[in-house]
Structure 1
Amino acid sequence: MVYTFRFRKELPKSIKDSAPKGSEWIINLAGSGQYRFELVSDAWIKPGEGRVVIKVPDATPAIIAEHALSDEQALLAILRYNRLIDTFLRATCYSLQSHLRTQVKDMGQIEVDELYLGVDRRGVQYVIPVQAKGGKDKLGIVQVRQDVAFCRERFPHLVCRPVAAQFMKDKVVALMELVDDCGKILVANETHFRLVPAGEISSEDLDRYCAAGEDS
């Protein structure tokens, strides 16, 4: 029950209504098996609407797409097989472990949906915790905070670049790079991708992507 309200669903109305105007309650870890309520301005991370959608050739093995056990598992597989984290962050990234359960000081046990390590052309190394949610589930700041705390504790010399991924309508995958600004989780970069057969990417699409790249 606690897990559901921390990560997937909004709190009951009676609790929500007790928050001051413009604030929301979240439930944070406060040690092993201990929790505390905290007021924040926004508890959830929402993909933007009306963004340009980038078509990417679908490299997901058909057998994986057919037998994925959940939306979250399917999304993590899509990210992995299509190297969308690499494309999004402009770095070479490698999946280190999925559904990593570990302990964080002053928090207790946490779970990272998938953990990547990456390196860019300058040699800068990154640790990339990924939070993935299906279309009906919500992306919350609680898990992102936990992911960031874990990365800072376990990988102090790597740059932490948390990423949130969510299925949207029309088979669009939204990727958002997040930053922790004094405890406030903000979206620093966002791109929407649609996986399609290679033949569905037209020459006009490619010309448009090239023109956009020249302007960026």
Structure 2
Amino acid sequence: MGKPEKEAKLNRYSEIVGEVFRKNYKPGATSVPFEREQFLEAAVERGVALPKNLGDAIYSFKYRSSLPASIQATAPEGLEWGIYGAGRAKYEFRLERPLEIVPRLNQLVVKIPDATPEIIQAHALGDEQALLAKVRYNRLVDIFLGITASSLQNHLRTTVKGIGQIEIDELYVGLDRHGCQYVVPVQAKGGKDKHGRQQTEQDIACCREKFPGLVCRPVSAQFINPNKIAMFELALQDDEIRVVSEEHYELVTSASITPSDLAIYAGRGRV
């Protein structure tokens, strides 16, 4: 799909979501509930072609794109609107503090011998798939969290009480040297995708519901460039998403890792 076609689709989605918000919003509201069906009604009222996949229209604004300026203009200073699941086929616009998670420019880069099979590199479909594959084949979850982790399922679609249907990019389970077991939901951010508060919150809610006996450690991975990946461990503290730790990994040939690189890493390991 070319860029003009993508922009046209996003503009169409913006018209629809803007109309849904306008019809449900009341001044001073901190949440604005709506149902999936209203997207169909809004499309008809605005004379806009119906999206083939209503879920994609909602997904785009939940995880990929900012809501239209007409919606954000109603938010008080220091807050912004986001879309959250509120049950099966039910959603709500909700006021929230902006979440800014971006790779630090001065972060030390750890070079890792690239174990990604070349055939995977040649045929990965899209940034997200390429990122998940590189994280998996290079065992970056294990390295980052210091546990032994195995991929349980990718693109896990399930339902969570009070939220509705969700999708986790990839789900790992693992354990440490003491036998403590973990569940690690990973969200992958490629291209211009933004880190979403609601994705982390729903990943945590899903793990609490489906894996109550495991320790949940949410991770977000983001491409800095095709061979450099930023990894963030996230946590929910005081109803805010916080960054627990951040590391940058560069996938290189073994010959590219110098003795001085190894000396730096050895010093970190002794801390």
When normalised by structure 2's length, the TM-score is: 0.77
How is 1:120-135 mapped onto 2 (pairs within 5 angstroms)? Answer: 120-135=176-191
1:123-153 deviations in Å (ceiling 9; x for gaps):
1100000000103211111111111100000
CA distance in 2, matches of 1:50, 1:170: 19
Per the TM alignment, residue 16 of structure 1 is displaced from its structure 2 partner at its CA by 1.2
The percentage of aligned residue pairs carrying the same residue is: 53
Whether 1:57 aligns to 2:128 is no
Whether 1:139 aligns to 2:195 is yes
CA distance in 2, matches of 1:140, 1:87: 24
Q: Which position in structure 1 is the counterpart of 2:175?
A: 119
Q: Which position in structure 1 is the counterpart of 2:127?
A: 71
Per the TM alignment, residue 182 of structure 1 is displaced from its structure 2 partner at its CA by 3.5
- Runs of 5+ consecutive residues of structure 1 not aligned to the other structure: none
Q: Which position in structure 1 is the counterpart of 2:209?
A: 153
CA distance in 1, matches of 2:174, 2:168: 16
Code of the residue aligned with 2:66 in structure 1: it is: E
Q: Which position in structure 1 is the counterpart of 2:150?
A: 94
1:85-104 deviations in Å (ceiling 9; x for gaps):
00000000000000000011
Q: How many residues are matched?
A: 215
Could you say which structure has the higher helix fraction? 2
CA distance in 1, matches of 2:258, 2:128: 30
For the pair shown, the structure with the greater C-alpha radius of gyration is 2
Code of the residue aligned with 2:177 in structure 1: it is: R
Whether 1:174 aligns to 2:230 is yes
Per the TM alignment, residue 59 of structure 1 is displaced from its structure 2 partner at its CA by 0.2
Q: Which position in structure 2 is the counterpart of 1:48?
A: 104
Per the TM alignment, residue 44 of structure 1 is displaced from its structure 2 partner at its CA by 4.6
When normalised by structure 1's length, the TM-score is: 0.96
Please say if residues 230 and 246 of structure 2, whose CA atoms lie closer than 8 Å, have aligned partners that are also in contact. Answer: yes
- RMSD, aligned α-carbons: 1.1
Instruction: Select between 85-94 and 183-192 the one with higher mean Cα deviation.
Output: 183-192
CA distance in 2, matches of 1:44, 1:106: 26
1:126-181 deviations in Å (ceiling 9; x for gaps):
00000001032111111111111000000001000000000013731000000011
Code of the residue aligned with 2:70 in structure 1: it is: S
CA distance in 1, matches of 2:102, 2:202: 18
